[in-house]
Structures are given as structure tokens and as C-alpha cells.
């Protein structure tokens, strides 16, 4: 359409800018979490993540060495050292020695101490305290500095969340639990649904239209209704809460969409192939296994992605059917909700855990987007 | 046994069991019950073909019946009864419903759900339509689309964390780490706000999270619909002197109105079921309760199955018009 006279408007640049803004708006929140997961807790707490690539200015309270480390030189008592422990990359701009006069002195200037003597602080944190008589007391002098720290990113958070054996968050365990829930819950419904979809697409029998209508209806039944009756049922047959129950539940909840998607796809396959096979003496079972199943791969793939994303991201079904009082079988979504409740301020742990949990679906999403879109277009009822 | 191993065995048994069921039941039908041989071969083939569809359908129908259809009726029954101590239940008529209607928290959930029902499908569809229209016209549109579509893959819980960081609040003397407060102060706000505790507004802040997730879905569907519009109609409109906005609103939108309705109703269903976002971000505090979370509260915190089932039936009731509409459309299409 762009080649018709009058459509190539001068507004093209406006379109580009609008899309840039839209994409930026949609990306910005996720980017914030990603950047935060690579920062230390101090950095997250003292500056916005959008400042992460700039040096950050922090107000720090540091201490000099205690008086017992003083040395006597040419009649003066001297304490020397570095406020940061060792000269690092932070640059001090101003400093003070009282909490009510934070930036009273420039670096290099000499400040008089309240209990006698003087202190000089340099930009890299080196200091020298001088006094004509010995320094007294147990603790070092407090120094209030305003320091500029260059941007720094760390993988420490990921190491803590995933590999630290002492880590109480148990993200690694939750990760494997989630995987254990997801894979059977994705694979089992596919096969069940494929057979049913074939019957609904290519076999003639009374009541077929009614069944299809029923499946379309079941597509939108909120699974909230199923929670208590099914929990009662699981307890009744002795499954209780556990992996088996959650696999069954996900299978049941995923089936309407699976059947609907696959039937819609199979009905579109060319009639000739199937009729030729029938003429050649193939049974329905053979036609299904040898012809329909391989041809339906795109639809199978798109349902598999849906079901994978849905089971991986699920919280409610896991809460109700899987996670018991011991908490051994917790999944990542539950773990993150827990972190939100108990450690809502620890953004470095929260951000990293959240990113670990969304990285797998994101990977699947970007790798298999084609099938996902195709599935959405075929079954946009759920 | 290690759960991963258990999972592996379940896959093998589940898949193997399904395959075995289908294979042997078909074999049984063809070889034993109605073999297509002998004097009654024709009759047998017809009989076998009558039965076979049900062999194919049986496992799916069993699962659907047990996991979706039966619970609807069981929940309906439970909403009219109450649990007796020591097991069992007694019919109490409409008691659960009248008790629920007397609770202010229920009406708060209803009011919020109605707001969600208007705002989220509306904004998602509008943004989706905008994004679809704009990205279809530029060379890097597919990349833009895939980035806007990306939140679809993120769990509601993950999205809750992402947006909690956006809404984070620090005391005034510290630097803000939440974007919203940083912007608010930058544009002259006096005090950092705790956004999620401001009644009414906080519901909108939660809705934004779902809009953010669902816009990509709307965009993908609507973009396909926009591309399906016959070019002649647009060319004709342009030759007749239609402005770009007129082309969009008077030519394109009316032609995809059916798809817009589908997108709208689909997001409506998602909204009615929304649970994780509220559960993770505010847990219904500060007047942000919604029906699904209210129901979870009643079922699993208050342990009141009667009241919980009654609120689940309210969700079902709200879904029913869409259910009927979908079934009606599906039947129309099949004819």
C-alpha cells in the first residue's frame, strides 16, 4: 500500500518515533529488573537502576583505625590508613567529621578534630590523623564522606541465588521442582488431545457437533471452580497433594485448548490424502499415526509452547494441588511470592530470583515465537 | 524417589499408557470384536466405525468430564451447602449467598472486578490496535512486535515483581529507586507516594500490569486481521480522498470489528480469572480485592468452602454470557 500516491506520508518519522516510544515503555520495566539483578544491594538501595551506568554518588559513614594503631613520629602521634580499607575506585569529593556538617571540608583540606588534633582526607580515601598528644579511646574517628563510585556490575547475586549451598531461598530446588511439574504436564495432554481432535475432525458419528460445542464452552470455564471439588477428589482416591495431582490437573485444564487447536488445524488438512489412504486400505489408527500426526506438527508445537508457558508460570494450580505443608515441592512462582512477602526490601535477591524464573519462558518465547503466534491465531478463544 | 525420576517415569507411563490404550483398543475392535472378514464383514466394518470414534475420544472425555464439567456442578452443589464438623455437608439453601452479599469485602471485589473488566480489555485492545497499525508500516516492525509481545511469556508473579520495582517507595531523604516516584518527584511532586496503598488508584496500578501483559496478545491477533483486509477497499478510500485517520477508523476498524470483539472477550476472560497479580502485589489489601482472590481467601484461608464456592459461582456467572456467545459462534462457523 505504500506505493499508492498519497500514502507515503511525511508522517513516517512520526510512526518510527511512536513505535520507539511504545517499545521503550514496554521494555523499560523488565529492563529495570534485569539491570537490578546485576547490582549489589547497596547500589540498588542508593540509586535508581537507570543510573547504573553512571558513577553513583553516595554518602557513606566510615571509620578510621582505632587509636591503638597510632605511631609516634617526631614528637607527634599519627594514625594513617585508607578509609575504604584499601585504595579502590571510589573517589571522595567532600568530607566532614560531624553528622550535622556532612560536606564541611574539601579533600586535601585539614580539619580540626573535636578532641584535639587534625585529620586530612585525600580523594582516594587515604587519611592522616595528627595530634601532639596520644589519641585516646577504643574506636576510630567517624568520617562522613560523599564519594563517587564508578558503575559496577556483579554476578554475585546469581551465584547466591542459584549455587550457594547455604542459601535459604532454595531457588535451585524450586527450579527443578518447576521443571518436574512442567514437562509431564506438557507432554501428556498432547497425545490425549491429538486422538480426540482427530476423531472430532475426520470421523463421522452422531453427537460430534455437540461435543465440539461442549469443548468450546469448556475453554472458558474458570479453573477456580475446579479447585475444591478436585482437591476433594484427589484426597478421595488417595493422590492427595503432590506431583501426580498437579500433572493430572494441568492435563485436564489444558485439554480443551489442546483439542480445540488441534481439531481446527487437522480439519484444514487436505481431504485427498486421507481419502486416498483409506482407499489403499489404511485404518483410522494408521492414518492418524502415519499421516495426521506428522502433518500436525506445527499445531502440536504451538500447543506445547502454550502449555509449557502456562504450567511454568502457574501459581494457583501449584498452590492448591502441589505444595503441601512441608514446602519440599515448592515451585518458583510460590518461592517468589514468599520472597515478596518476607524480604520485600531485598531487591537483589528478589530481582535475581524473578529473573531466573522468567528466563526459561523468555528463552522458549524467543526461540519458538513463530509457533506461538500461529497457535494464538488459531485458537484465540481461551 | 527423586521427583525428577518420578516425573520421567510418569511421562513414560503416561505416554506409553496412552499409546498402548489406543493401539490395543483398536486392535481389539478390529481383530476380536468386529473383524472385517467372514460372512458379516460389511456389517462388522460399519459397527467398528461406529465405535472407533469413542475409543479415540474416551480418555479426553473422561479427563474433561472429571476435571472441568463435574467441578462446575459440584461447586454449584457446594455453594448451596455447608460443611459439617466431622465431615459431610448439609443443604443450607441460599445462606452462603446471602452471607456473601452482606460482606463489604465482596462488594469491594465486585466493584474492582467491574473496573478491571472495563479498563484492562479496553486499554489492551486500544494499545494492541495502535501497536499493530504502527508496526505494520515500518521495516523493523517485527522486532518491535516481538518486544511488545514479550511480556506474554512472563508469569504474572514475575510481572508483579517487575512492577513492584517500578512502584517502589523510599523515604523522602533517600534517592528513589522506583521509576514512578522518581518521575513524580522530578515533575514537582512533594512527597514520594506509596502507590500500592492509595485506594482506587492502586487498583489502576495493578491493572496496568495486566494491560502490559495482554497488549502483545491483542497486537498479534489484530495485526493479522489488519493484514487480512482487502487492499482494494483501502486504495479506493485513498483515491476518494480519505485522510489516514479516516482510512483507519472508517475503513479498517469496521472490517476487523469481529476480531476486536474476539480479542476483547478473550482478555475479559483473563481478567475474570486474574489472581496472581493481586495475590502477589497487595493480596487484596488497601481495597484492591478482586473476585478470584476473594475466593482463594475464603477457600483456603477462612476454610469456608460454602462461601468460596458461592464466589466461584459468581465468576462462572460472569463468564457464562461469553461462553454462550463463543459456543453460538462456533456452531455458526461449523455450518
Question: What DSSP string describes A90-158?
Answer: -EEEEEESBTTBTT-EETT-EEE-TTSSEEEE-TTSEEEEEESS---SSSPPEEEEEEEE-----SHHH
Contact flag A354-B331 (C-beta cutoff 8 Å): no
Chains A, B: CB pairs < 8 Å: 339
* Residue A18 contacts B, CB cutoff 8 Å: yes
What local confidence, expressed as pLDDT, does residue A380 receive?
55
* Inter-chain residue contact B165 with A225, CB threshold 8 Å: no
- The per-residue pLDDT for range A56-115, each reduced to its tens digit, is 677 777 778 887 777 887 778 888 888 777 666 677 878 887 777 777 788 777 888 777
Which phi and psi (to 5°) does residue B187 adopt?
A: -90, 25
| pLDDT of residue B297 exceeding 70 | yes
Contacting residues for A279 by C-beta, under 8 A, at least 6 apart: none
* CB spacing of A358 vs B153 below 8 angstroms: yes
pLDDT reading at A324 higher than 80: no
User: Which of B63, B174, B309 is nearest residue A255 as measured by Cβ atoms?
Assistant: B63
pLDDT at B258: 83
Residue A117: name the closest of A101, A129, A105, A125 by CA.
A129
Instruction: For residues B205-215, give the mean pLDDT.
Output: 90
- The yes-or-no verdict on residue B90 having pLDDT over 50 is yes
Residue B161: name the closest of A98, A143, A332, A282 by CA: A332
Q: List C-alpha distances in Å: B289 to A312, B196, B284.
A: 25, 12, 4
In contact, B91 and B324? CB cutoff 8 Å: no
Has residue A260 got a pLDDT over 60? yes
Residue A126 buriedness (CB in 10 A; 0-12 / 13-18 / 19+): middle
Interface of A with B in 147-166 (CB under 8 A): none
Residues 307-346 of A with CB under 8 A from B: 309, 312-316, 319-320, 329, 333, 336-337, 340, 344
pLDDT greater at residue B50 or residue B213 = B213
Contact at CB, A196 and B61, closer than 8 angstroms: yes
- DSSP-assigned letter for residue A289: I
Interface of A with B in 82-121 (CB under 8 A): none
- Nearest CA-CA distance, residue B173 and chain A, Å: 11
Q: Which pLDDT value is given to residue A272?
A: 86
Residue range A351-378: average pLDDT?
A: 83
Q: Read off the C-alpha cell for A269.
A: 488438512
Closest CA to B208 of B224, B226, B195: B195
CB A364 within 8 A of CB A179: no
CB of B183 less than 8 A from some CB of A: no
| Minimal C-alpha gap between A293 and chain B (Å) | 13
Distance from CA of B221 to the nearest CA of A (A): 6
Q: What is the DSSP string of B122-184?
A: HHHHHHHHHHHHHHTTSTTHHHHHHHHHGGGGS-HHHHHHHHHHHT----TTSPP-SHHHHHH
The reply to whether residue B276 touches residue A354, judged by beta carbons under 8 angstroms, is no
For residue A249, list chain B residues with Cβ-Cβ distance below 8 A.
67
Return contacts of B80-85, CB within 8 angstroms, 24+ apart. Answer: B80/B306, B81/B306, B82/B305, B82/B306, B83/B305, B83/B306
Q: How confident is the model at residue B193 (pLDDT cuts 50, 70, 90)?
A: confident
pLDDT higher than 70, residue A382: no
Express each pLDDT in A9-49 by its tens digit: 567 888 888 888 888 888 888 888 888 888 877 777 777 77
240-269 in A: which are within 8 Å (CB) of B?
Answer: 243-244, 247-249, 251-253, 255-256, 259
The helix (H) or strand (E) run that includes residue B89 is: strand B89-91
Q: Is the ipTM of this complex over 0.90?
A: no
Length of chain A equals 382
- Model pLDDT, residue A165: 64
Q: How far is B285 from chain A, CA to nearest CA, in Å?
A: 13
From residue A272, alpha-carbon distances to A268, A269, A277, A291, A366 in Å are: 11, 9, 8, 12, 36
**Residues 243-262, chain B, touching A (beta carbon < 8 A):** 244, 262
- Closest CA of chain B from A194, distance in Å: 9
User: Tens digits of per-residue pLDDT, B133-188?
Assistant: 888 878 888 888 888 888 888 888 889 888 888 888 877 777 777 888 888 888 87
Q: What is the Cα–Cα distance from A288 to A324, expressed in whole angstroms?
A: 41
Closest-CA distance, A355 to chain B, in angstroms, reads 8
Nearest Cβ partner for B177 among A45, A198, A313 = A45
pLDDT of residue B203 exceeding 80: yes
Instruction: Say whether residue A205 is in contact with chain B using an 8 A CB cutoff.
Output: yes
Tracing cell 564519594 back to the chain, one arrives at: A147
Fold (CATH) for B98-334? MetI-like fold (1.10.3720)
Which has more confidence, A102 or B277?
B277
Closest in A32, A228, A316 to B305, CB measured:
A228
Chain A residues in contact with B26 by the CB 8 A cut-off are 283-285
pLDDT of residue A31: 86
Q: Which of A180, A252, A373 sits opposite B63 (nearest CB)?
A: A252
- The yes-or-no verdict on residue B192 having pLDDT over 60 is yes
Q: What pLDDT score was predicted for residue A183?
A: 84
What fold does the segment set A160-378 form as a domain?
MetI-like fold (1.10.3720)
Q: Which of residues 82-121 of B touch A (CB under 8 A)?
A: none
Q: Which residues are CB-contacts of A234 (< 8 A; sequence separation ≥ 6)?
A: A240, A241, A245, A248, A321
pLDDT at A5 over 50: no
pLDDT over 50 (residue A1): no
Rounded CA gap, B59 and A39, in Å?
A: 51
- CA separation for the pair A325, A328 (Å, rounded): 8
- What's the pLDDT band for A212 if we cut at 50, 70, 90? confident
pLDDT recorded at residue B126: 92
> Which pLDDT does position B121 carry in this prediction?
92
Taking CA–CA distances from A218, the nearest residue in chain B reads: B68
Q: Measured between CB atoms, does B330 come within 8 Å of chain A? A: yes
A21 interface with B at CB cutoff 8 Å: no
CB contact under 8 A, B221 and A366: no
pLDDT range class, residue B124, cuts 50, 70, 90: very high
pLDDT surpasses 60 at A296? yes
Q: What distance in Å separates the CA atoms of residue A373 and residue B217, rounded to the nearest whole number?
A: 9
Q: How buried is residue A250: exposed, middle or buried, by Cβ count under 10 Å (0-12/13-18/19+)?
A: buried
Q: For residue B87, what pLDDT band results from cuts at 50, 70 and 90? A: low
Mean pLDDT of chain A: 80
For range A110-132, the mean pLDDT = 79
Average of per-residue pLDDT values in chain B: 83
How far away is chain A from the Cα of B276, in angstroms, using its nearest Cα?
A: 7
Share of chain A above pLDDT 70, in %: 93
* Residue ranges of chain A assigned to CATH 1.10.3720.10: 160-378
On whether any CB of chain A is under 8 Å from the CB of B79, the answer is no
In the predicted structure, residue B31 carries a pLDDT above the cut 80: no
Q: Are A261 and A196 in contact (CB under 8 A)?
A: no
Evaluated on CA atoms B293, B295, B300, B303, the torsion sign reads: positive
pLDDT value, residue B211:
92
Q: Say whether pLDDT at A215 is over 50.
A: yes
- Identify which of B46, B21, B19 has the alpha carbon closest to the alpha carbon of residue B34: B46
Provide the pLDDT confidence category of residue A3 given band limits of 50, 70 and 90. Answer: very low
Amino acid at each position: 500500500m505504500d506505493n499508492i500516491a498519497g500514502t507515503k506520508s511525511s508522517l513516517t518519522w512520526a510512526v518510527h518515533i511512536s513505535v520507539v516510544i511504545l517499545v521503550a515503555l514496554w521494555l523499560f520495566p523488565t529492563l529495570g529488573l534485569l539491570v537490578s539483578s546485576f547490582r549489589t544491594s547497596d547500589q540498588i538501595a542508593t540509586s535508581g537502576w537507570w543510573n547504573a551506568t553512571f558513577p553513583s554518588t553516595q554518602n557513606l559513614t566510615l571509620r578510621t583505625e582505632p587509636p591503638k594503631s597510632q605511631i609516634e613520629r617526631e614528637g607527634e602521634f599519627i594514625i594513617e590508613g585508607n578509609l575504604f580499607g584499601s585504595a579502590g575506585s571510589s573517589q571522595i569529593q567532600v568530607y566532614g567529621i560531624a553528622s550535622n556538617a556532612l560536606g564541611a571540608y574539601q579533600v586535601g583540606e585539614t580539619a580540626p578534630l573535636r578532641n584535639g588534633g587534625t585529620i586530612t582526607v585525600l580523594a582516594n580515601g587515604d587519611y592522616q590523623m595528627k595530634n601532639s598528644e596520644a589519641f585516646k579511646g577504643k574506636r576510630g574517628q567517624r568520617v562522613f564522606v560523599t564519594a563517587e563510585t564508578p558503575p559496577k556490575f556483579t554476578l554475585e547475586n546469581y551465584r547466591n541465588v542459584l549455587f550457594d549451598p547455604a542459601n535459604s531461598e532454595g531457588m535451585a530446588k524450586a527450579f527443578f521442582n518447576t521443571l518436574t511439574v512442567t514437562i509431564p504436564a506438557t507432554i501428556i495432554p498432547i497425545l490425549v488431545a491429538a486422538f480426540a481432535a482427530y476423531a472430532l475432525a475426520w470421523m463421522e458419528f452422531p453427537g460430534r457437533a455437540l461435543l465440539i460445542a461442549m469443548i468450546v464452552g469448556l475453554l472458558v470455564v474458570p479453573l477456580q471452580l475446579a479447585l475444591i471439588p478436585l482437591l476433594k477428589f484427589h484426597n478421595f482416591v488417595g493422590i492427595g497433594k503432590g506431583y501426580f495431582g498437579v500433572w493430572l490437573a494441568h492435563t485436564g485444564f489444558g485439554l480443551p485448548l489442546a483439542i480445540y487447536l488441534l481439531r481446527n488445524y487437522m480439519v484444514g488438512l487436505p481431504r485427498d490424502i486421507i481419502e486416498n489412504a483409506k482407499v489403499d486400505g489404511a485404518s483410522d489408527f494408521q492414518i492418524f499415526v502415519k499421516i495426521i500426526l506428522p502433518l500436525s506438527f506445527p499445531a502440536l508445537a504451538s500447543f506445547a509452547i502454550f502449555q509449557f508457558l502456562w504450567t511454568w508460570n502457574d501459581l494457583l494450580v501449584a498452590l492448591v494441588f502441589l505444595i503441601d505443608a512441608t514446602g519440599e515441592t515448592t515451585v518458583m512462582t510460590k518461592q517468589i511470592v514468599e520472597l515478596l512477602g518476607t524480604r520485600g526490601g531485598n531487591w537483589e535477591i528478589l530481582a535475581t530470583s524473578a529473573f531466573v524464573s522468567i528466563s526459561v519462558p523468555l528463552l522458549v518465547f524467543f526461540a519458538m515465537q513463530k509457533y506461538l503466534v500461529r497457535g494464538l491465531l488459531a485458537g484465540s478463544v481461551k | 524417589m527423586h521427583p525428577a525420576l518420578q516425573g520421567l517415569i510418569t511421562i513414560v507411563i503416561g505416554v506409553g499408557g496412552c499409546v498402548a490404550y489406543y493401539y490395543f483398543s483398536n486392535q481389539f475392535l478390529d481383530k476380536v470384536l468386529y473383524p472385517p472378514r467372514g460372512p458379516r464383514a460389511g456389517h462388522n466394518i460399519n459397527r467398528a466405525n461406529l465405535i472407533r470414534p469413542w475409543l479415540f475420544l474416551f480418555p479426553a472425555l473422561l479427563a474433561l468430564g472429571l476435571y472441568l464439567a463435574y467441578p462446575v456442578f459440584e461447586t454449584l452443589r457446594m455453594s448451596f451447602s455447608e460443611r459439617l464438623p466431622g465431615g459431610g455437608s448439609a443443604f443450607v439453601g441460599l445462606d452462603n449467598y446471602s452471607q456473601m452479599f452482606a460482606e463489604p469485602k465482596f462488594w469491594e471485589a465486585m466493584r474492582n472486578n467491574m473496573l478491571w473488566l472495563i479498563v484492562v480489555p479496553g486499554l489492551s485492545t486500544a494499545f494492541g490496535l495502535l501497536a499493530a497499525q504502527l508496526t505494520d508500516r515500518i521495516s523493523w516492525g517485527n522486532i518491535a512486535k516481538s518486544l511488545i509481545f514479550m511480556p506474554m511469556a512472563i508469569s504474572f508473579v514475575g510481572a508483579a515483581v517487575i512492577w513492584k520495582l517500578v512502584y517502589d517507595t523510599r523515604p523522602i531523604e533517600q534517592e528513589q529507586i522506583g521509576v514512578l516516584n522518581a518521575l513524580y518527584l522530578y515533575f514537582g511532586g512533594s512527597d514520594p507516594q506509596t502507590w500500592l496503598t492509595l485506594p482506587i488508584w492502586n487498583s489502576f496500578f495493578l491493572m496496568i500490569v495486566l494491560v502490559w501483559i495482554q497488549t502483545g496478545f491483542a497486537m498479534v491477533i489484530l495485526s493479522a486481521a489488519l493484514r487480512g483486509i482487502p487492499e482494494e477497499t483501502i486504495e479506493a478510500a485513498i483515491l476518494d480522498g480519505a485522510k489516514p485517520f479516516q482510512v483507519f477508523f472508517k475503513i479498517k476498524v469496521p472490517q476487523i470489528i469481529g476480531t476486536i470483539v474476539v480479542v476483547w472477550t478473550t482478555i475479559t476472560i483473563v481478567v475474570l480469572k486474574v489472581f496472581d497479580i493481586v495475590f502477589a502485589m497487595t493480596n487484596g489489601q488497601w481495597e484492591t480485592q478482586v473476585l478470584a482472590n476473594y475466593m482463594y481467601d475464603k477457600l483456603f484461608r477462612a476454610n469456608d468452602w460454602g462461601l468460596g464456592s458461592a464466589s466461584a459461582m459468581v465468576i462462572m456467572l460472569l463468564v457464562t454470557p461469553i461462553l454462550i456467545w463463543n459456543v453460538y459462534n462456533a456452531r455458526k462457523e461449523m455450518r
